[in-house]
Chains A and B, each alone.
Chain A
Amino acid sequence: MAEIELRHIEKSYGETAVVKGVSLNIRDGEFLTLVGPSGCGKSTLLRIIAGLEAQDGGEVLVGGRCVNDKRPKERDVAMVFQSYALYPHLSVFDNLALPLRTRRLSFAQRLPFVGRALPGCGGIEKTIRAEIEQAASMLDIGHLLHRKPGQLSGGQRQRVALGRAMVRDPAVFLMDEPLSNLDAKLRVQMRAEIIALHRRLGVTFVYVTHDQAEAMTMSDRVAVMMGGELLQVGRPERLYRDPEDLRVAEMIGSPKINVVSCADWTALGASLPRGVDGNTTHLAFRPEAVGIAAPGDGRLSGVVASVENLGSDIFLNVALGDGRGTVVVRTHPDVSRSEPGRAVGLQIDPACLLQFDGAGMRLRQAEKIEAAA
């Protein structure tokens, strides 16, 4: 059983608190993504799980047992790094073999030249070779075993790094932004491969990324971190439709969610929908919740500032008057009125309006906001 439990993890570097009381339960076999902007503490949290950093407070439990004082090699975790961290002087085969050799060969057997001649070595090497060839064929790097990392492309190095983690047969896979160094097309391909790998191995994956698209497409659950705090954990759909915090709403979803403060709303001459809570300071709605209408129709109105045609969708950036910001609207290519400079009205589906108070917390009292006539 490889469920991970984090209880009130604290970590500071000098004066700066990097992780502030994070508690998280990761279920066995689940794919959990830690997502957040740079510097939010997600990588630090991952390193604490791995045992590469010691937390200042709190406990880490793997499989129900506290592993606080266990070194990384004793925690039965494997890690894939952002820079792959392959040993550049070793061939791909030796890179994959290193974790196995370190575990199974004694100190004497590991000595550079003398060790290989010692008895018992041959048998161990044979099993190691068989396991590596199996992992290599699963990742399609069998033809690269004799090459050095410097002779591989980015995607191939990524697979070798995955292979090195896989051969150890760990209870937990930890991944620290492994796709950041790849180009966009390769990233999409590797995403699919990692998802397939997770399905095949059935092992707990903890994945760290700053890219919310990766988090949304790959995970069973997503944990959003910001400023060292855990803001929300849940399934991707839940985070998208029902965020707890304005920051979570802004983090998840591309293009970014539209946020119009109530002050701006009234300043533009529009009336607030009925049923809006008194404490609401911000109203947020997704681009697909907005419809284009004739100017004057709809709640808000503005002028189309720019058009982004992605082929299947068109995103209009509509500038509200008085420099009160822009609203991104998703429309169909057939819809007219999508030229820059055109005045349009915005119809917003009231059921999709999310209300947030001054502190950025979600207000749920008035669930149903009645549509204005």
Chain B
Amino acid sequence: MAAPTARIAKRSGEHGLGWLAVSPALLLLIGLLFGPVAAVLLFSLTDWQLGSFTFHFIGPANFRTLFTDPTFWKALSNTLIYAAIVVPGTVLLGLVVALLIESSPGLRGFYRAAHFLPVMSTMSAMAIVWGTMLHPTIGLVNRALGVMGISGVNWLRDERTALLALALIGIWQGFGFAMVLFVSGLKAVPQQLYDAAAVDGADGVLDRLRVVTLPMLGPVTMFVVILTAKRSFEVFDSVRVLTQGGPNYASEVLLHRLYTESFDFLRMGYGAALTVVYLAIVVLLTLTQARLLERRVHYS
């Protein structure tokens, strides 16, 4: 009884067993990731409207419309501006707060938790709170500015400040994460390096930062920058809740545009084309991250 089954088992057993073990994860991956991506790529070449039962292949027409649509370019440039404000802001603020927390002898746990809370919070709920705070007359922000003698603007309804307001909210939400990563990076800096720097004469705050802290934080900084850049490209909740892309597309961003086209205007084909472009950008960012981090993995 053992012999024939053993022979069959030896031939295909190990292969079969391997596939069996991987199949649940594989099915999920196909169903939830590869499948939908393939579907999106497919739909970007059609004119399907959400709700209709038929669609026609129209080739690259969606992409042509996309690249000649000024709203798309506005959304793209807004997203880039948003990232350009949020990434340096988050990284700098996270670094400064991490340095301050690590240099203080007490209450470290409390400060870390307090600054991390925005990261844990639900953005859409927080966006509503921010919306109230940014109200031009009764909002907390303008009233605080008024106390200091500065007249506040209509943050979310003014074309010039809408994107900036959203970017600041984005920084507020994200810097806690950067801070936590920097705190762990700071803990990994060996104390003997600071001692060596002190004996060598570099014992002032700026000297220590220049000679020891910032260079040793190099890999962490790069990781934080790429991560923050990816997250800033994914901004949606605050835009949807607070400005809906307005006024006059001043705060329109890629993901929000995608959503509006697909689910408000029901132009799924066009939305799919937008998704493809968006996907390409995100994949590019991820590949850049992988490349850069590969080269700078370890110091001695």
Contact = CB atoms under 8 A, between A and B. Distances in A.
Contact of B195 (A79, A86, A89): A79
A81 B195 contact: yes
B121 interface: no
Given A83-B190, A85-B193, A89-B299, A71 B211 contact: no
Contacts of B300: 86, 88, 148-152
Given A87-B211, A87-B212, A73 B195 contact: no
Contact of B218 (A89, A90, A110, A168): A89
A77 interface: yes
Interface string B179-217: 000000000001011011111111100010011100110
A77 B199 contact: yes
Contacts of A98: 200, 202, 211
A50 B199 contact: yes
Interface residues of A, number: 32
A102 B200 contact: yes
Contacts of A282: none
A311 B210 CA distance: 54
Interface string A67-79: 0000111000111
A70 to B, nearest CB: 12
Given A81-B195, A85-B192, A89-B299, A103 B201 contact: yes
Interface string A47-87: 10011100000000000000000011100011101110111
A55 to B, nearest CB: 16
B242 to A, nearest CB: 40
A34 B270 CA distance: 77
B84 to A, nearest CB: 22
Given A85-B190, A89-B218, A150-B299, A102 B202 contact: yes
A338 to B, nearest CB: 47
Contacts of A103: 201
A323 to B, nearest CB: 45
Contacts of A81: 192, 195-196
A87 B211 CA distance: 8
Contact of A72 (B193, B198, B211): B198
Contacts of A77: 199
A112 B210 contact: yes
A43 to B, nearest CB: 11
Interface string A85-120: 111111000000011001100000010100000000
Interface in B202-239: 202-203, 207, 210-212, 215-216, 218
Contacts of B198: 51-52, 71-73
Contact of A87 (B193, B199, B203): B193
Given A52-B195, A73-B203, 19 more contacts: A50-B195, A50-B199, A72-B195, A72-B203, A73-B200, A78-B199, A79-B195, A83-B190, A83-B192, A87-B193, A87-B196, A87-B211, A89-B215, A89-B216, A99-B199, A102-B207, A103-B201, A150-B300, A152-B300
